[in-house]
Structure 1
Amino acid sequence: MALETHNKGSPDAVAGEEFEYEALPEGYGLSHNMLAGAFAGIAEHTVMYPVDLMKTRMQVINSGGTIYTGISNALSTISRIEGFRTLWRGMSSVIVGAGPAHAVYFGTYEVVKEFAGGNARDGKHHPAAAAMSGACATIASDALMNPFDVIKQRMQVHGSTHPSIAACARSVFRTEGLSAFYVSYPTTLTMTVPFTAFQFMAYESLSKVMNPSKTYDPITHCVAGGLAGAFAAGITTPLDVIKTLLQTRGASQDLEIRRVSGLVAAARIIKREYGWRGFMRGWKPRIVTTMPSTAICWSSYEMAKAYFRRTLREDEARRAL
């Protein structure tokens, strides 16, 4: 790697190097990837949260009798009727859950990617390893994040009266039981496993084309992350609509919706109410949310990894003096 071409006794050489980004310095481990993932998850979800709330409102059936026809309509309607601050209702649930969930997410991704040969120094592209690592990552992280996602969407729906995530969690548990926090988990996995597999495969492929040297390049990480997220989000929107119905069923006034318990039953209700077009409800805000979200997530993750690696390399150089 490039570091070896410099005098290791020179801190200036380390500070100005163009090191091989994927090469690991001494002391770099799983904990650094998990810290980088936690930072990325919190950054991603907090920045794009208002658009995510609008997506939820557009997907929920009979959302307080209000029909949201688009992003601009949802924004103006929510701001006018409920106040601009409503766009951030429930965000604390994301902050609390996203950090640990994304730490697990990226930690699992890096471990499985290494195990599957995705980090091999053979100069070849390994899309299958990227897809496998993404699928495993989302299975592990969604098990942790799903209850927080349920709480978030319950607080996002029109007319929500939950003053805090703790109050919302107690209310859901008291009225619907523990299963309410995981009723959407199978559907979530049905959506997120292909979503993450496609996203990671697309991200790794685009990164290899845009940045074959694998050096730290913020523009590449941002663009590749955004395009990969948009692609994956578009093709998995129908499953996201079903997941939203399952996660917000307890807030519905419709008895049939309140009793729905699975993917197929939820799909039937959506088909009956809105036809096949109903499965693409909220696709625009989903892509608008996901594209910058994944761009922010990958950029933040790669930036944090680059920071940890550069810091450890500088420490190595100082110790070698």
Structure 2
Amino acid sequence: MGRQRDDGGETSETKRSPESGVTSFLAGSSAGLVSSGILQPFEVIKTRMQAHKLRPGSINKSMFKTAGCVVRDEGIRGLWSGVTASCVRTAAGAGLYFLLLERVTKEVNARFPESPNASQSSVALMKTFAVGAVSRSLAATLLCPLTVVKTRMEYTSMSGTAYTGVTNALVTIGRTEGMRGLFSGLGSTLLRDAPFSGLNLVVYTQTRKMMQDMRAKEGRAMTPFDTFVAGAISGGVATFLTHPPDVLRTRIQLRSVNVTFASVVADEGIRALWVGSLPRIARRTLQQAMTWSLYEYVAKNLGGTALSP
């Protein structure tokens, strides 16, 4: 995440406008909103697969069989269950994440200046990981109630609890379960989101730098497709490695009881920690590809700060 230089030799940090934080938020929100609306079916299928044990007599099905059951029982619209909550959560989360990412990066670079070969050093990689993890942790904590609502609404047709909208769900959960209900699963959410974002940011910046070096040797400039590929690679790798906490988060937020890695493994085996991984990896891979591409494009055209190395 080194400082970029333009043709005039100035670093991007010196060219940041006072509104650069707003630009980062708008770029991140736009990317999150678009990707969430398009890819919601993957999230619904993943939630249903992870929650199958919560229904007596339910058996674990594959991604395609689960999708078929949703369409058969609820119609094609069932694949977009909870899409409003998902769009609100993802748009707000992505916007807040990129806003915090820029601010945290600026503070870290000011306190710990980069050396000339910083992009190759382990210290720089650790710093990038930490920036991503801290930014996502702050955003995830602030938006945990929306995450709970999103998960509940994706499962509402099976749980029997109906919400008329995001606000109704927040009020209902807050009234019946209190703050504990609204922040249920926060620990497992942070256990998932912090390493995910750290890994995602490290893999993305390093992959894009390698691609940038390859294109330079070929005498060509980076293309939007290159950014898309780098985002897809970073999203897929980080998602697979951080999937188990997502299983834990889903079950805690749906059932509001103590569920642990040990109890899941004891009851269902180690493979249960990767239940629903295929639709989640598919969604996150495409989502991160779209998010990074849209973020870089919007940030550039609005005069903000891109995160490319």
Q: TM-score range by the shorter chain?
A: 0.7 to 0.9
1:119, CA displacement in angstroms? 8.9
Q: For residue 32 of structure 1, give the secondary structure of its aligned residue in structure 2.
A: helix
Residue 186 (structure 1) aligned with residue 180 (structure 2): no
Aligned to 2:242: 236
Query: How does the TM-score come out when normalised to structure 1?
Result: 0.80
Aligned to 2:145: 147
Aligned to 1:37: 28
How far apart, CA to CA, are the structure 2 residues paired with 1:205 and 1:246? Answer: 35
1:302, CA displacement in angstroms? 0.5
After alignment, is 53-62 or 109-118 more displaced? 109-118
Amino acid at match of 1:164: G
How far apart, CA to CA, are the structure 1 residues paired with 2:159 and 2:257? Answer: 20
1:218, CA displacement in angstroms? 1.2
Uncovered stretches (5+) of structure 1, i.e. residues with no partner: 6-19, 250-257, 311-321
Over 3 Å counting, the alpha-carbon distance change for 1:219 and 1:42 in structure 2 is same
Residue 303 (structure 1) aligned with residue 297 (structure 2): yes
1:202, CA displacement in angstroms? 0.5
Aligned to 1:219: 225
1:199, CA displacement in angstroms? 0.8
Q: For residue 143 of structure 2, give the secondary structure of its aligned residue in structure 1.
A: helix
1:166, CA displacement in angstroms? 2.3
After alignment, is 283-292 or 206-215 more displaced? 206-215
Conserved in 2, the CA contact under 8 Å of 1:245 and 1:266? Answer: no
Aligned to 1:285: 279
Question: Which entry has the higher C-alpha Rg, 1 or 2?
Answer: 1
How far apart, CA to CA, are the structure 1 residues paired with 2:281 and 2:25? Answer: 26
Q: How does 1:1-321 map to 2 (within 5 A)?
A: 3-4=7-8, 22=12, 25=15, 27=17, 29-60=20-51, 61-63=53-55, 65-117=57-109, 122=116, 124-125=118-119, 126-157=124-155, 158-160=158-160, 161-212=162-213, 217-249=223-255, 258-260=256-258, 265-309=259-303
Q: For residue 302 of structure 2, give the secondary structure of its aligned residue in structure 1.
A: helix
Over 3 Å counting, the alpha-carbon distance change for 1:66 and 1:82 in structure 2 is farther
How far apart, CA to CA, are the structure 1 residues paired with 2:187 and 2:159? Answer: 27
Conserved in 1, the CA contact under 8 Å of 2:104 and 2:131? Answer: yes
Conserved in 2, the CA contact under 8 Å of 1:150 and 1:247? Answer: yes
1:204, CA displacement in angstroms? 0.8
Q: Deviations over 1:204-237 (max 9, x none)?
A: 1101101147976312221111111111111111
How far apart, CA to CA, are the structure 1 residues paired with 2:205 and 2:169? Answer: 38
Q: Deviations over 1:109-130 (max 9, x none)?
A: 1122233339959364132222
Conserved in 2, the CA contact under 8 Å of 1:135 and 1:194? Answer: yes
How many pairs does the alignment contain? 284
Uncovered stretches (5+) of structure 2, i.e. residues with no partner: 305-309
1:200, CA displacement in angstroms? 0.6
